[in-house]
Amino acid sequence: MKIGELAARSNVTTKTIRYYESIGLLTAPERTPSGYRDYGDPAVERLRFIRDAQASGLALAEIQSVLELKDAGARSCGHTASLLERHLVDLDAQIERLQSARTELLELAERAASLDPRACTDPNRCQVITTHH
């Protein structure tokens, strides 16, 4: 199949396919006598896997590491699980930071609601944003 059909069947753009080829995520296919790329069905499945792995939060370099294991005939489940676990740890830390930021913003919003705007006389600072809350 030509690159346009591959793109349609795998739900990625032709530009993405060319990029994946350039970084080694997708093997460059054979070419027809007229120079067109000629992909087989395995390319569709590989692109779908890449798309699904990205949707799960894996970076292209991590996906490459999984595909290298698969290409070598090795099992990749343990490696993939450790990648996902690391992402979970990172996500939990990010959630914690966001919850802390939300708490601080809530305190500032409550402070803003209790202040009299006429009392804001400092020409360089807003009375809502202060280190003395």
Domain ranges across the chain: 1-74, 76-116
Q: Report the range out of 33-37, 80-84, 119-123, 126-130 with the highest average pLDDT.
A: 80-84
Q: pLDDT at position 132, please?
A: 55
- 51-100 pLDDT, tens per residue? 999 999 999 999 999 999 999 999 999 999 999 999 999 999 999 999 99
What percent of the chain clears pLDDT 90, i.e. is strictly above it?
A: 80
Find where tokens 């280190």 sit. 131
> Exposed, middle or buried by CB within 10 Å (0-12, 13-18, 19+), for 75?
exposed
Helix ranges, 1-133 (H): 3-10, 14-23, 41-55, 60-71, 77-114
Among candidate residues 35, 36, 44, the one with its CA nearest the CA of residue 17: 44
Q: Which residues partner with 30 through β-bridges?
A: 38
Mean pLDDT calculated for residue range 18-27: 95
For the segment(s) 1-74, the CATH number from 1.10.1660.10, 3.40.50.720, 3.50.30.60, 3.90.1170.40 is 1.10.1660.10
Mean pLDDT calculated for residue range 108-112: 91
Q: pLDDT at position 133, please?
A: 45
Integer Cα distance of 88 and 100 in angstroms: 18
Mean of all residue pLDDT scores within the chain: 93
Q: Which structure tokens are listed for 56?
A: 């799960």
